[in-house]
Structure 1
Amino acid sequence: MILILDEKQQFIFHLSLGLLSLLQFTECENIRLVGPSCCSGRVEVFYQDSWGTVCDDEWSIANAEVVCRELNCGTAMEAKNGAFFGRGKDEIWLDDVQCVGNESSILQCQHRPFGQNNCGHNEDAGVVCSGHVRLVNGTTHCNGRVEIYHEGQWKRVCSDWGKQAAQVVCQEVGCGDPLAQTETLNFGDARALPAIKTICSGNEISVSQCSLLKVNEICDDATVVCGNSQPIRLVNGTNRCSGRVEIYYSSQWGTVCDDRWGMQEATVACREMNCGNALSVKYKAYFGRGQDQIWLDEMECTGHEKSLAQCPHKGFGEHDCNHSEDAGLVCSDTVRLINGTNSCSGRVEVYHDGRWGKLCSNNWGLKEATVLCNELNCGDPKNSKDIFYFGDSSLQGFTSRCSDNM
C-alpha cells in the first residue's frame, strides 16, 4: 500500500522530522546572535554541522521574545528585518517562523522544513534584546538603578555589590567605566522585585558570568553612574520627543552639528530618549539656534547604538560648524497610529519599556481621543472605527481618526 500525502501533510511530516532530529542537541547550543553584543544581532541556528540564518518572512516581536528568552538575554526590544545586522553566509536554515511567544526555543516554533526557503541573505532576521542587565529610572541608559535578568525574571541588586561588579555592568551596557558617586542617588524603589547579590572579579564580559546569590534579607538597591552618561534632550519642539538635539557634557549643555546627520543618528537619539521611532531629521537650526558649545559633529551611527555618545564622531567640542547648523529631529513619541491613510488615523499603539505595545479599548472615549490627536498635532478627533478596522495586530489595539486626516 502506498500512502500519498498532500502538500500540507508533507509539510507537517517534514517539520516533525526536523524537530525530532534536533532533540539530540541542547537547544540553547543551536542558536546565536551575530552582532554588536551577545544579546543583539543576526539570528543564526546550528543544523547539520553548520550555522545558518533565519529569513525575516513572518518575523515578529513574538519570535524575538522566544529568542531573547532562550539566550537568557532578557526581553525583546525589537525584531529586525532586512539584514539589519549584516548579511549571513551559506545556508538559510529557517523561513516562515511563527512563534506563539511562550515556546522555550525558536526550534519549537512553526516553520518550514530546515533549508526550505524563498529568501536571500538580504532578508536575514535579527533581534535586539534588553540584555542581562539594565539601568532603570536614570537620565539615560548609562545611569540608574541596577536590575539583572536571572532565572527568567528581572531582579534588583543589593547595594553592597562592589566596584568590580559596577565595572562589569557599565562595560556590558556600553557605557565605559563607573564614576564615583559622592552622594546616594535616588532612582526609585524596586523592593517589590526579588533581590540578588553579585560577586564579580571585574574580568567578566557579562554580569551573567558573575556569581549571583539569592537574598532573603532586606537590602538597599544598587545604583551606578557610568562614564558615558551624557544626558540628552530635545529643545524647542512641540513636545519632549521633538526639537533641537542637545547633549550634556563637561557640566554644560551643547548642540549637535547637522554634518552627516541622518535617520540612523535620529533613530539612536529617539530610542535613547524612549521616544519611539524616528520620523524625520531636521537641519539648519530648524528648531532655533542653540547657544555656547557645539559638542558633536560628523556623527556616523549604525543605528543600533544605545546612545549618541557611542557613535563615532570627531570628539567632544571638535567641529567646523556654527549654530545655524544645529541638528534636530522628530520622534514618534510614545504613541503612534498604524495602518491608517496617513499619520493622523489608524490603530493606536503605545511605546513603553523599550517596545511598542497594544492599548486596550476599554473605557476609550472622546476625551482620550482628544488628548491623543492633540499630542500628534492632528487636530480634533473624528469618528472612531470598529476594532481592527485598521488591521489586526500581534499587539492589542483600538482605532482613532483625527480631523486632520486628509
Structure 2
Amino acid sequence: MDFAFGPEDEAFREEARGWLAEHLATGPAPTPRAWERELGTGGWIGLAWDPAHGTYGNRTTTLIGQVVWAEEYARSQAPVRLGHLGETLLAPTLLAHGTASQRDRFLPAVARGEDIWCQGYSEPGAGSDLAALRTSAVLTDGGGTYRISGQKIWTSYAHEADWCFLLARTTEGSRRHHGLSLLLVPMDQPGRIEVRPIRDMSGAADFNEVFFDGAEADVEHVVGGEGNGWRVAMDLLGRERGLSTLAQQIGFAAELEDVIRLALDTGAAAEPVTRDRIVRHWAQLQAMRWNALRTLGTAGDPGAPSVAKLLWGRWHQELGELAMLIRGPAATLGPAAWDADRPYELDALQRMFLFSRADTIHSGSDEIQRTVIAERVLGLPKEPRP
C-alpha cells in the first residue's frame, strides 16, 4: 500500500503549516476559547464534515487532506482543542442522524468556534459497560421538555462546555441497550447541573463529574428519535478515533524523541536492553501509523477502533515507564526539588508517565476492546452476562 502524499496534499500541507505558523507566532498564547474562534474564522473547523447538508461556513477537504491538517496541527504544538468533541463527534452525528433544524441550530456555532460541547456517557458503574447507565430523562406533563436526573463521570471539559450530548434512559423500566436516547442539553442551568472537577495524578483537572438534578432538554433536541440512543451513540463512538489517532501519534513521536534525548544525556542509550526497548518503541510507532492510515475510511468496522486503542494504550503506558526507568532515582524529584522557594512541579515526562497509567482503561478498557474483537470480529462465543 502506498502511504505517500500527492502534490495537492503537499500544497495543502504548506498552506496549513503557514497559517498555523502565522497565527501561533503573534503575541501571547490565546485563551482556549479565543483559539477556537480563530480556527473558526480561518475555516479550519469541520474539514471532515459531509458537505451534502451544507458547509456551515467552513471549508472541506479530502480524507488525506484531513490527515495532513491533523499532522500539521500536532506538529506545530498548537493548543489542545477545546472544541474537538463538538467538531469530530457531535457534528458528524448530527449530519448522519440529526434533523435539518438540529443541524441548522447547532453546526454553525461549532464551525465558528463559539459553542463548546462535552460528552455525557460514562457513569459510576457504567463506564466500559455503557449499557448499564441509569441517568433518566422523563417527559414533562406538557411534553415539550425532558427532566434529567443522574450522574455522569470522566466528562472532559464539562467545566468549559456550553452544551452536552448526553445518553439517558427515556423509557422507564428499560434495561441495557433498550429505551435510551441521545439528548442535547444546555449546561447553563444553575441549581440543576453541578460540575465537580476530578484532579488526576498529574495535577490536571480536565475530567469532571456532572450531577443532573431536574435539568431540562428540549424534546426537539433528541438525536435520531426517542429510544434510538444506543444505535446513535455507537455510531458516534465509532468516530472517536480514526484521524485523531494519527494526530495523537505526532505527539507520541515528540515524546519518544524526548525519551531518546534523555537516554543520550544520561548515558542509558549505551545499555543494550534500554537501546533495544527504544528501538522497539520506534518500530511499534511506525506500525501504529501504518495501521491508522490503512484503516482510514473503515467506518462501521468494529475491529479497527478496538485494535488501534489496544496498540496505542499499552505503547504509551510503557513509554512512560521507560522514561522513568532511564531517569532513575531522579524520576521521583521535580525540577524545583532542591529550591525551597519554588513549588513542586512535574516536568513533561513525569506528567506523561502519570497520565498514561490510565491509558489502558479510559476510552474503553483493554478488556472491553479484546471482548469487542473476540465477539464482533472473530465471532467467538459471547461472555456470560447477568
| TM-score of the alignment, normalized to the shorter chain, above 0.5 | no
Greater relative contact order, per chain length (Cα 8 Å cut-off, separation 6+): 2
Q: Select the structure that is richer in helix.
A: 2
| TM-score interval, smaller chain | under 0.3
Q: Whose Rg is larger?
A: 1
